[in-house]
């Protein structure tokens, strides 16, 4: 990592209030990262994650409507309805991965926990859909879509755009 960026991160860490230190230590935010993934690899991994997530979404909708015929025609099963949200979420994760990789010496560990936390937050609209009367079976399919997208995106980014480690990492 560029020495100037490292210096800025260390100074920012030192300027944080004392009460944040235990939280940062638990989250493994230590500003001692390995070399972050290259932009090209992150872009490729993000594209792979988008395509794989859209394929998985389509397969889950197909499976859901086959298992639960009453969900056919459900508005959120329309390709453009879920595709725009899937693409947006995966792109945000693609931007987030190199940022996380710059904050932690254990970026995969932190990114996995952030993926779980974000996925839990993204289940709130699904709960709202249930609240306003959407069919339970349709919402269950949407929940599975969130889970699969999170797994596909995490694996794509961390495997196809890994951080550099070892002697030559810095």
Full DSSP string of 51-98: HHHHHHHHHHHHHHHHH-GGGTT-GGGSHHHHHHHHHHHHHHHHHHHH
Predicted local confidence at residue 117, as pLDDT: 96
Ramachandran assignment for 74, one of left (phi > 0), alpha (psi -120 to 50 degrees), beta (any other):
beta
CB 138 within 8 A of CB 76: yes
Phi, psi of 35 (to 5 degrees): -65, 130
Question: 44-76, pLDDT tens digit by residue?
Answer: 999 999 999 999 999 999 999 999 999 999 999
The Cα–Cα gap between 113 and 104 comes to 13
Question: 130-161, pLDDT tens digit by residue?
Answer: 999 999 999 999 999 999 999 999 999 999 99
> Which residues, in sequence order, are bridge partners of residue 164?
35
Q: What is the mean pLDDT of residues 101-122?
A: 93
Check residues 69 and 25 and name the one with the higher pLDDT.
69
Alpha carbon separation from 119 to 99, 146, 153, 159 (Å, rounded): 18, 7, 12, 20
Predicted local confidence at residue 103, as pLDDT: 86
CA 82, chain centre distance (Å):
16
> Which residues, in sequence order, are bridge partners of residue 104?
29
Which of 20-24, 102-106, 142-146, 155-159 has the weakest average pLDDT? 20-24
Alpha carbon separation from 56 to 29, 74, 125, 150, 167 (Å, rounded): 32, 18, 20, 11, 38
Predicted local confidence at residue 96, as pLDDT: 96
If pLDDT is split at 50, 70 and 90, which confidence band does 167 have? very low
> Domain residue spans in the chain?
38-163
Asked if pLDDT for residue 78 goes beyond 70, the answer is yes
> Which residues, in sequence order, are bridge partners of residue 35?
164
Predicted local confidence at residue 18, as pLDDT: 73
Q: Which residue has 């056919």 as its token pair?
A: 72
């Amino acid at each position: 990592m560029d020495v100037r960026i490292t210096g800025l991160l260390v100074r920012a860490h030192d300027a944080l209030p004392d009460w944040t230190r235990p939280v940062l230590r638990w989250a493994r935010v230590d500003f001692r990262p390995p070399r972050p993934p290259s932009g090209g690899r992150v872009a490729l991994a993000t594209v792979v994650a988008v395509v794989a997530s859209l394929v998985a979404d389509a397969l889950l909708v197909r499976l859901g409507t086959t298992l639960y015929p009453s969900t056919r025609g459900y508005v959120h099963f329309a390709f453009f309805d879920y595709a725009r949200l899937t693409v947006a979420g995966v792109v945000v994760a693609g931007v987030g991965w190199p940022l996380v990789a710059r904050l932690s010496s254990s970026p995969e560990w932190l990114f996995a926990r952030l993926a779980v936390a974000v996925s839990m937050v993204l289940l709130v609209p699904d709960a709202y859909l249930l609240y306003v009367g959407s069919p339970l079976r349709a919402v269950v399919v949407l929940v599975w879509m969130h889970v699969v997208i999170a797994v596909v995106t995490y694996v794509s980014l961390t495997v196809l755009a890994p951080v550099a480690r070892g002697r030559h990492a810095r």
